[in-house]
Amino acid sequence: MRVLGIESSCDETGVAIYDSEAGLMSHQLYSQVKMHAEFGGVVPELASRDHVRKLLPLISAAFKEAGLSVGDVDGVAYTAGPGLIGALMVGASTGRAMAMGWGVPAVGVHHMEGHLLAPMLEDEPPEYPFVALLVSGGHTLLVDVAAPGNYLILGESLDDAAGEAFDKTAKMMGLPYPGGPRLSQIAEQGTAGRFIFPRPMVDRPGMDFSFSGLKTAVRVEIAKHAVDEVIEDQTMADIAMGFQEAVVETLAVKCRRALQATGYKTLVIAGGVSANKHLRTRLAQMAEKERSRVYYPRPEFCTDNGAMIAYAGYLRLLSGARADLSLNIRPRWALDELGAM
């Protein structure tokens, strides 16, 4: 089965073609980052309009890259949620219209299920069951994945998502959007141990997260060290390092608990923050102690992309899921509402 996947939930337009025999045949991505940078964050209406501009050319390019004629697929998958309502509508209505025109089924995919399954596109995919840590701009979730579609949420963020905490802290430090990757770059020059920020909720049992208090702790240090609203570069790097250490340590502690609670030996990390180098090093150390193995998607599939939607859509279509004639998108949609496949 060959599936066209469309991702348009936020500020990336992604299109890909996945084939159950040939694997990933093509993937195309356009990031709107430059357009939103001027405003310091994603402007939803601009995002929707840009998806309208980019989606059709990307679909043509994906068919061309795969060496296929346009429409030569057995199904169409699009991100149905969670995400920005207008942005989701662009991918959903385009995907549905294409599917109808080509006479093939369509299916709406859960964006986080896409992230969770992204490592399955690699040459050495993880085996089920596993624990998944999903760390993106909108979500922080620890999931017990018994099988595709069989998800039990072990823990989630009670306030800011990990990526959101990175972005908001970066903004406070005066870094341009998107702040997360920039903050982690600056942290590389930082001195470990100069700033020790609280590790939120690690001293309490459970696997939930909370990152908003950490943001406040950083704000206090910034205010303390600013002279005429300017902070010395080294101090800024040291604060960035302290912040990153606190987030990473918290994530590592909760992942260890999840492995111990489930007895699983496989940990999958996905979502934008999984690109963070420090997180990868720390999780590798933790996993070694737990005699477990960590799997990531390739860097370009850590952040939003069409390939993960094409793959998740393929599994959903295979299990018989079909979008009905109403155009249902779900700006808010809990992962554990999904059915087994």
The single residue among 78, 166, 197, 301 that binds ligand KG4, judged by CB under 6 A, is 166
Q: What span, in angstroms and rounded, lies between the C-alpha atoms of 196 and 191?
A: 11
| 305 contact partners, CB below 8 Å, separation of at least 6 | 7, 12, 14, 16, 27, 29, 118
- The answer to whether residue 304 forms part of the interface with Zn ion (CB under 5 A) is yes
Distance CA 257, CA 120 (A): 24
**5/105 with CB nearer ligand KG4:** 5
Nearer to ligand KG4 by Cβ, of 16 and 73: the residue is 16
- CA distances, 140 to each of 34, 46, 246, 306, 319 (Å): 25, 26, 15, 21, 27
| Residue from 211, 122, 202, 127 nearest 163 by CA | 211
User: Of these, 91, 114, 137, 313, which contacts ligand KG4 (CB under 6 A)?
Assistant: 137
Helix axes 162-172, 233-262, angle to 10 degrees: 170
Smaller CB separation from ligand KG4, 115 or 257:
115
Closest C-alpha to 115, from 99, 136, 84, 89: 136
Q: Choose the one of Zn ion, ligand KG4, none that binds residue 166, judging by a C-beta under 5 to 8 angstroms depending on kind.
A: ligand KG4
Q: Which is nearer to ligand KG4, 75 or 163 (CB)?
A: 163
Residues 302-321 that bind ligand KG4 (CB under 6 A): 303-304
Residue 60: which H helix or E strand, with range? helix 44-66
Q: How far is the CB of 163 from ligand KG4 (least distance, A)?
A: 3
Q: Considering only residues 119 through 138, tell me which ones interact with Zn ion, judged by CB under 5 A.
A: 136
Task: Report in angstroms how near the CB of residue 237 gets to Zn ion at its nearest.
Answer: 28
Q: Mapping DSSP to helix (H, G, I), strand (E, B) and coil, where does residue 131 land?
A: strand
Q: Which residues bind Zn ion (CB under 5 A)?
A: 136, 304
Residues of this chain that interact with ligand KG4 (CB under 6 A) are 10, 136-138, 163-164, 166-167, 178, 180-181, 184, 271-273, 275-276, 303-304
